[in-house]
Amino acid sequence: MSTTIRSKGLTKAYGEHTVVDRLDLEIEAGEVFGLLGPNGAGKTTTILMLLGLVQPTNGTIKVLGLDPRRNPLEVKRHVGYLPDAVGFYDSMTGRQNLRFTARLNGLDDFEGQIESLLDLVGLADAADQAAGEYSRGMKQRLGVADALVKGPSVLILDEPTTAIDPEGVIEMLALIQRLAKEEGVTVLLASHLLHQVQAVCDRVAIFVDGKVVAQGTPHDLAAVEETAKVRVEFRLGGDPSKARDLLNSMPNVSDVEAGRVPGSWVAGLEAGSLPTAVSGLVSRGADVIGVHRLDEDLETIYRRYFEVREEVSP
């Protein structure tokens, strides 16, 4: 798998205020990559630097092997962009707006492409309706079609589900997954909405105060913890208290509580101590049925990093 977007030490400062601070990113072809952080974290500035619309203060960027600072027009030919506030000519229909974009990009024989895009984003039935009559969700989907008119291999979406109703959010997330998995488009999704990023992204970079404080899959991010939550299913006679006491008596085990599965227990284990814990249970006469790691959800991981960042901030 090839790297589509790569930045090294990417920095943007306005005077003494650093908006993006030494950002390192590697986004692979065909993946959905989430840039997750609160509003004001520097996500949009990062996107504008990737597109060549804002010049970095320091660092390097490559998008499809091109430097946006030196080849901004060439980058734009291959990258589709949906800003957080998408705009269309309200008096024109959805189809007419896409035709206008196609002509601006110097495309010929684009009618078939427009029909395919309208179908892809679920707007075929509303294609000849004035864009001013579209709902927010419909406009966002039209925005995706607009960004795809030129057939880009990379699609950058800045807060694409903001102010969309729940049904529209579901449609947008399904569209993002389809673009990546079926159309082979690399998607960079910038958002502050945790559960939506978790629903569609292959990997995530948690972005706080212009810095990436953690990067990887949700599973990867959870795995860096010194203590992992593990559900241990075992039998030890008929007295539940004996099972709890046994776990509590073992080294490197903490926070023991009954699991939702009857006969199971959830415990915190220090990283790398799981084999020793299981051996200890067996040696004490326990019948171990199963051991399952309980990965944290992205919200828990994000809040942990964000809260730590707040604590160390001056």
For residue 295, what pLDDT is reported?
A: 57
- Does 258 lie in the same domain as 125? no
pTM of the model: 0.75
Report the CATH number at residue 168. 3.40.50.300
State the DSSP H helix or E strand holding residue 311, giving kind and residue range, or none if neither. Answer: helix 298-312
Give the domain range for residue 163: 3-217
Query: Per the domain annotation, does 311 fall within a domain?
Result: no
Q: Are residues 162 and 247 in the same domain?
A: no
Q: How confident is the model at residue 311 (pLDDT cuts 50, 70, 90)?
A: very low
Phi-psi region at 43: left, alpha or beta (left = phi > 0; alpha = psi -120 to 50): alpha
How sure is the predictor about 232, in pLDDT bands with cuts at 50, 70 and 90?
A: low
The domain that holds 263 is classified in CATH as 3.30.70.100
pLDDT in tens, 199-220: 899 999 998 889 998 888 866 7
Q: Does one domain contain both 261 and 146?
A: no
Q: Which of 127, 137, 146 is nearest to 170 (CA)?
A: 137
The answer to whether residue 36 is domain-embedded is yes
The 10s digit of each residue's pLDDT in 107-136 is 888 999 999 999 999 999 999 999 999 998
* 64 and 178 housed in the same domain: yes
CA dist 277 and 261 (Å) reads 20
State whether 160 and 62 are in the same domain: yes
Q: Are residues 144 and 281 in the same domain?
A: no
Among the three residues 217, 241, 258, which one is the final residue of a domain in this structure? 217
pLDDT bin (cut points 50, 70, 90) of residue 88 is: very high
Is the per-residue pLDDT at 313 higher than 60? no
Q: Quick one: 123 and 246 in the same domain?
A: no
Question: Quick check: is 138 in a domain?
Answer: yes
Do 120 and 12 lie in one domain? The reply is: yes
E strand or H helix that includes residue 173: helix 166-181
Q: For tokens 């008119």, name the residue.
A: 149
pLDDT band at 312 (very low <50, low <70, confident <90, very high): very low
Torsion (CA) 194, 199, 201, 204 in degrees, nearest 10: 30
**E runs forming strands in 76-153:** 79-82
Based on the fold, state whether residues 271 and 181 are members of the same structural domain. Answer: no
Do 152 and 115 share a structural domain? yes
Instruction: Answer whether residue 310 is part of any domain.
Output: no
Q: 291 burial class (0-12, 13-18, 19+ CB within 10 angstroms)?
A: middle
Give the residue, 297 or 90, on which the prediction is more confident. 90
Our count of domains for the chain comes to 2
Query: What is the tens place of the pLDDT at every residue in 21-53?
Result: 999 999 999 999 999 988 888 999 999 999 999
- Same domain (yes/no): 203, 278: no
Report yes or no: 50 and 60 within 8 Å, Cβ to Cβ. no
Same domain assignment for residues 19 and 74: yes
